Amino acid sequence: MFLLNEVKYDTQYSEMYRSRSRALGERLNRYLEESGLKREHDVPGTQKTFLVGCIVVEGKKPQIIKEIKHVKNIEKSGWAMEDPSYFIEDTEMERVWLDVSKCEGDRLVNGCVVAVFGTKEGKGVRVERVFFPIETYKAGEDRKKVRFGREKTVVVPRIGDHRRVTAKKIADFVSENGAGLVLYEETQSCKHMGDVEAHVVPGENDHVLHMLPYQPPARRQIGAGPRHTLLTNPASMEISGKTVIFCNYRSVEEVLRYAPAEEREAAGAEKYFGALHLLLRCMHISPCSPDSCPTYPMSEDPFVLKDIPDMLIVRVEEKVADIREVEEQGKRVFLVVLSVAENGVLVISEGVPSIETI
């Protein structure tokens, strides 16, 4: 849960970056020093060094619109970073330019905290390797979770056009199987679920302020009953003893802006898997906040992951529902892409997800 108890609008966004760099940077510093790597500020050009800090990506952004003649014909279109330059704002130094030409496989996005190792050249560093925060975690390091909750949970990304009829089918399925229920950005179906217990994650079509994390809408507006628990978006839940992260689509969309063109234009769920996997490696579910993702001003960064989650889920508009399993630091993690264009639901049974039709 990412509920905001108090928002102070005199808080500077730099506080979030400072909190993020402190939480993830300290782990990276300790990890690299224990690995025997040296950190030097004033070293000869041929000597190796490493830096830890927050990545800044600067580049050209396409001009959106100079003149609007026919508003009804304007379609929403994404933009991608062009000719990017990379910098790292080190926790102990000023901004340093990075040559990442040798690290094409390690995608960097604005706002992520990493460590870079390489050779100092002039005022910059020629990077040979990038260390992501997830590398500082070890298999089995996660806090021991007590198994609780139902053995089966149904996650619904879309009820469909016949909301009343379909909602009844889902409610009957949940009741008959003794399953839990999560309405993922499908809050308008609350009023059709009767007394079925459900957790509700708000979406962009709800009465919420579009600043991350989305806060729960008023119960009266969505017809939520006393057995409906209203969550934030993004949201973190413990399902059958497993940590499940419901990601906000805006966070994933922002990460995709820094992906190569072939990945952004890839068919199916491939591009979303790439974005979710990057969030996992960064141990942060919204690295582009607050720079390009509208975010509440907070003194602490709530999006830093303290443990490796068991599952990351994102809901998309395309017809690309799919599941992928990856392994990081000896731990199995499921990446899940749910589609509002299909009638399938996600069933999590004993911590293992599957997409099914009810």
DSSP states along 90-130: ESSS-EEEEE-TT-TTS---TT-EEEEEEEEETTEEEEEEE
Q: What is the pLDDT of residue 92?
A: 62
More confident residue, 161 or 287: 287
194 and 314 co-located in one domain: yes
Banded pLDDT at 64 (limits 50, 70, 90): very low
For residue 236, the Cα-to-chain-centroid distance in whole angstroms is 11
Phi and psi at 314, nearest 5°, equal -135, 145
Q: Are residues 300 and 194 in the same domain?
A: yes
Q: What pLDDT was estimated at residue 241?
A: 84
For residue 357, is pLDDT > 90? Answer: no
Residue pLDDT, tens place only, 82-127: 788 999 997 666 789 999 998 877 889 999 999 999 988 888 899 9
- Asked if residues 96 and 117 have their Cβ atoms less than 8 Å apart, the reply is no
Residue type for position 238: E
The total domain count for the chain is 2
In a domain, 37, yes or no: yes
Task: Indicate the residue among 89, 109, 136 that finishes a domain.
Answer: 136
Does residue 5 lie in a domain region? Answer: no
Residues 284 and 190 in one domain: yes
Q: Which two tokens stand for residue 105?
A: 């496989």
CA distance 350 to 153: 9
Indicate the pLDDT class of residue 221, thresholds 50, 70 and 90: confident
Name the residue among 210, 149, 220 with its Cα closest to residue 190: 220
**What pLDDT band is residue 246 in, cutting at 50, 70 and 90?**
very high
Residues 115 and 194 occupy one common structural domain: no
Q: What is the pLDDT of residue 332?
A: 95
Does one domain contain both 279 and 181?
yes
- State the pairing for strand pair 228-230/198-201: parallel
Question: Averaged over 264-285, what is the pLDDT?
Answer: 93
The answer to whether residue 9 scores a pLDDT higher than 70 is no
Averaged pLDDT, 1-29? 82
Judgement on whether residues 115 and 257 belong to the same structural domain of the protein: no
How many residues belong to the chain?
A: 358
pLDDT confidence of residue 67 = 41
Q: Are 126 and 119 in contact (CB under 8 A)?
A: yes
Question: Does residue 164 surpass a pLDDT of 50?
Answer: yes
Average model confidence (pLDDT) for the chain?
Answer: 84
- Residue 190, CA distances (Å) to 122, 154, 187, 321 in order: 60, 14, 6, 23
Residue 70 has pLDDT above 50, yes or no: no
Report whether 56 contacts 86 (CB < 8 A): yes
**Mean pLDDT throughout 155-179?**
81
Q: How far apart are CA 315 and CA 156, in angstroms?
A: 10
The three-class DSSP label of residue 80 is: coil
Residue for token digits 């879309």?
158
Q: What is the pLDDT of residue 206?
A: 82
pLDDT digits 0-9 by tens, 143-155: 444 343 567 899 9
CATH of the domain at 123: 2.40.50.430
The pLDDT assigned to 71 comes to 41
77 vs 217, residue with greater confidence: 217
Coil, strand or helix: which one is 189? helix
Check whether residue 163 and residue 34 sit in a common domain.
no
90 with 119, same domain? yes
pLDDT digits (tens, 9 = 90+) for 282-298: 999 999 999 888 899 88
Whether 43 and 103 share a structural domain: yes
Q: Taking residues 18-30, report their average pLDDT.
A: 93
Q: How far apart are CA 200 and CA 337, in angstroms?
A: 18
The DSSP string of 123-162 is TEEEEEEEE-GGGG--TT-SPPPPP-S-SEEEEES---SS
Q: Which residue has the tokens 């990493």?
A: 114
The verdict on residue 233 lying in a domain is yes
CA–CA separation, 282 and 337 (whole Å): 19
**Would you place residue 45 in the very low, low, confident or very high pLDDT band (cuts 50, 70, 90)?**
low
**pLDDT tens per residue, range 191-215:** 888 889 999 999 887 878 889 999 9
Q: Check whether residue 248 and residue 288 sit in a common domain.
A: yes
What is the mean predicted confidence (pLDDT) over 222-241?
A: 92
Neighbours of 213 (CB within 10 A): 25
Tens digits of residue pLDDT in 305-324: 999 999 999 999 888 999 99
Within a 10 A sphere around the Cβ of 266, how many other Cβ atoms? 15
Q: With contact defined as beta carbons under 8 Å apart, do 280 and 309 qualify?
A: yes
Distances (CA, A) of 202 to 208, 248, 334: 8, 10, 22
Instruction: Read off the CATH number of the domain in which 309 is found.
Output: 3.60.21.50
217 and 86, same structural domain? no
Range of the domain at 283: 152-356
103 and 127 share one domain: yes
pLDDT beyond 50 at 57: yes
* pLDDT: which is higher, 79 or 324: 324
Task: Tell whether 41 is covered by a domain.
Answer: yes
Q: Which of 61-70, 102-111, 127-136, 216-225 has the lowest mean pLDDT?
A: 61-70
pLDDT exceeds 80 at position 263: yes
Q: Rank 28-42, 78-92, 187-201, 239-253 by mean pLDDT and report only the highest.
A: 239-253
- Per cent of the chain over pLDDT 90 is 48
